Structure formats: structure tokens, C-alpha cells
Amino acid sequence: MGSERGGIRCTNGVTARTRFAVSVVLLLIGTAAAKVIAIARHKPFIAQLDGVVPHLTVRDTMVAAVVLEVGFAVFIWVCRSRLSAMVACSWLVLLFVCYRVAAWELFVRRPCPCLGDVLDWTRLPQWSKDHLALALLCYMGVGSLFFLTRTYLCLTGKNKEHLSSTVLPVKSLHEQS
């Protein structure tokens, strides 16, 4: 069933990883829905040029983000019990982090429209809404990297165990002859 490998419990089941993948799917669908709602409301900020990709409007980048989020959500859902779901999640997080870093490097002072305007009813300050989007990225990034690392450590432990069990000790060879 399960065994200890360097302080990490390696089990045959993937329930924790599957649950994490399902939570990521729900978050991606939620953030995509928030963007779709913002686009449908035709808010003024939607027509502005994007600070990172200046030849596109915020609407264009939000549509691209919706397509990515829904596409990745479907892929992660289909592969939720496989390691490829964690790889896909890591890639998506990396892509969004690169966008955020580019916005920071280009001194884009405008608030990130990551969640559209659906949180305006909460009357939270803009910085807390931006931090919420970053917290979601951190959750998905740290979680997917955790499961990738855990799987790597379990596999390397199993490979070492397998290699040590297939190599016959020198004494055994001499005793047999």
C-alpha cells in the first residue's frame, strides 16, 4: 500500500492530488467566470489598452486568459488523477506569473483586472483584490510543485529500492558456484 521514503509517505492512491486538481479546476472556472462577467458588463477599463501587451485591449487579454483558464481547467479535469495535471497547473501559473512580472517591470500602475470587477461589491480596497489573485496563484503554484516534488521523491526512492533489489550481492554469486 504505502511506504516511507525519506520522511515522505508514498501511497499508491492519488486522492490528495486529485482533490487538489479538482480545487484548481473550480478556481480556474471561477476566475474565468469573473472575467466573462466583467467583459459582459462593458466596464470602461475593458476598452483600455493593456499595460503589458500595448497593442491589445484589456478585453483582448481577458478573453485570452479565459480561453487559457477554461482550456487548462478541462485538461486538468480530464487528467486529474495523473501527474500531467500538476505539470499543466505549474505551466499556467508560470505563464500568469510572467505576465505579472512583466507588468511590474513595465511599471504598470493600473490594478490587475485578473478577477474583473465582480469583487467590487465587497468594497475591499484594490490592493486586497490584487493580493487575492496573487494568493490564488500561490495556492496553485505551491500545490502543484508540492505534488510534483512529492512524486519525484517517491519515484526516486522506488527506483533506488528497485535497483538495490535487482543487483545480486557478490557473496551470493560466489556461494552459488
CA-wise closest residue to 110 among 34, 57, 35 = 57
Q: Is the pLDDT of residue 176 over 70?
A: no
pLDDT digits (tens, 9 = 90+) for 78-101: 998 888 999 999 999 999 999 989
pLDDT at res. 166:
46
**Closest to 76 (Cα-Cα) out of 85, 68, 66, 67:** 85
Query: pLDDT tens for residues 117-133?
Result: 777 777 888 788 778 88
Tell me the HSE value of 116 on the side-chain side, using a 13 A CA sphere: 22
- For residue 49, what is the enclosing H or E element? none
Single pTM value for the model? 0.78
Percent pLDDT > 70 in the chain is 80
pLDDT in tens, 31-44: 999 899 888 988 78
